[in-house]
Amino acid sequence: MTQDNGEAPLRLVVTAKGNHARQNTNLRELDSLLKVLDDEGEPVTLDGDGRGFIAPFRAQVTLSGMYLPVDFVKDTVHKFQGRECDEIVFSTVLDKKRYNQERKRLDFVDDPRMINVAVSRAKHRFTLVTGDEVFTGNNGHIAALMRYVIYYAQDEQIVRAPVVSAFDLLYREYDQSLARLNARLRLKDSRYKSEQIAAQILRQVLSTSACHALMVHDQVKLDQVASPNTPGLTDRERAFMARASCDFVIYFRVGKIPVGVIEVDGGSHDRPDQAARDALKNGILAKSGILILRLRTVESRIEERVAEFVAQWASPAQDE
């Protein structure tokens, strides 16, 4: 790695506490990287060789293509050999779930040859994006690399928990900035903590004066939200409506007219059968002119997204 050109050659980004990996992807590592890049401003472009994003799994590389700037070259470690970039970002993907802590999984990512390729491809800066204490237990090469970066990098290049999500409360370990929200959750809202979180956020949003004309109900039958007589519905969609429900439905108080639906999607929604049901519901609501917001539990900016969704029906701000 070339140094002494005014740039910070080493950077470490550690995601907030919690298990953020899903099926060889880790959206939180991408969200955290994007936050750091946004805060940084201009990227390192000393030689015009651009930036590279490297991950051990093809699924993470594919996901990165949906989120990272187009100037990033994105590929697996094995496909990156022989190519250099001004900056290389290495995303380790794994979290602390038991499956990801199995020796086979850890050894695959913690391969010294893989790490050497990732580091050596960086001409001016290497950024490691990883989970909180994920590799501490096996005390291998990534743990050693983290210690090296922490020792030699500038303090401002060690970034911890740049992105915290309300849904991090689903994990045994979570950032303490969420303690206040956790204390306000109500067990009576749902048997699922994910829905308790969404319910509390909705309460906060709807408590503002701009939302006085709105109300919310939970677990509403789909055929009570959208009419089975809606033109264009198929027999399959009508049959589905009779047995499906919506997590949260936003109404105008006067007339109780449904305008929006919020769904909380946990890990089961990644399964093909559940994804097909979700697509059916999306189609029915679209044909009925009712908007839907899906909140995946691996996503962040939950409060902002709920507020932006509800704002579509809020009253205009009144001058004092």
Q: Which domains does the chain have, with CATH numbers?
A: 10-163 (3.40.50.300), 176-312 (3.40.1350)
- pLDDT for 43 equals 66
Using DSSP's 3-state secondary structure scheme, residue 32 falls into: helix
For residue 319, the model assigns a pLDDT of 46
**In this structure, what are the phi and psi dihedrals at residue 83, rounded to the nearest 5 degrees?**
-115, 135
Which pLDDT score is estimated for 81? Answer: 74
CA distances from 24 to 20, 21, 27, 94 (A): 10, 7, 10, 7
| Structure-token pair, residue 215 | 């109300």
The single-letter DSSP state of residue 56 is S
* pLDDT value for 317: 63
- For residues 44 and 51, the answer to whether their CB atoms sit within 8 Å is yes
Where b means 16+ CB within 10 Å and e means fewer, 81-105 reads: eeebbbbbbbbbbbbbeeebeeeeb
pLDDT for residue 320: 41
**pLDDT score recorded for residue 47:** 66
pLDDT at 44: 60
What is the predicted pLDDT for the residue at 223?
Answer: 97
The pLDDT value given to residue 271: 85
CB 226 within 8 A of CB 284: yes
Digit-by-digit pLDDT tens for the chain (320 residues) are 554 455 579 999 999 999 999 999 999 999 999 999 999 877 665 567 789 999 999 999 999 999 999 989 999 988 887 789 999 999 999 999 999 999 999 999 999 999 999 999 999 999 999 999 999 999 999 999 999 999 999 999 999 999 999 999 999 999 999 999 999 999 999 999 999 999 999 999 999 999 999 999 999 999 999 999 999 999 999 999 999 999 999 999 999 999 999 999 987 777 889 999 999 999 999 999 999 999 999 999 999 999 999 999 999 865 44
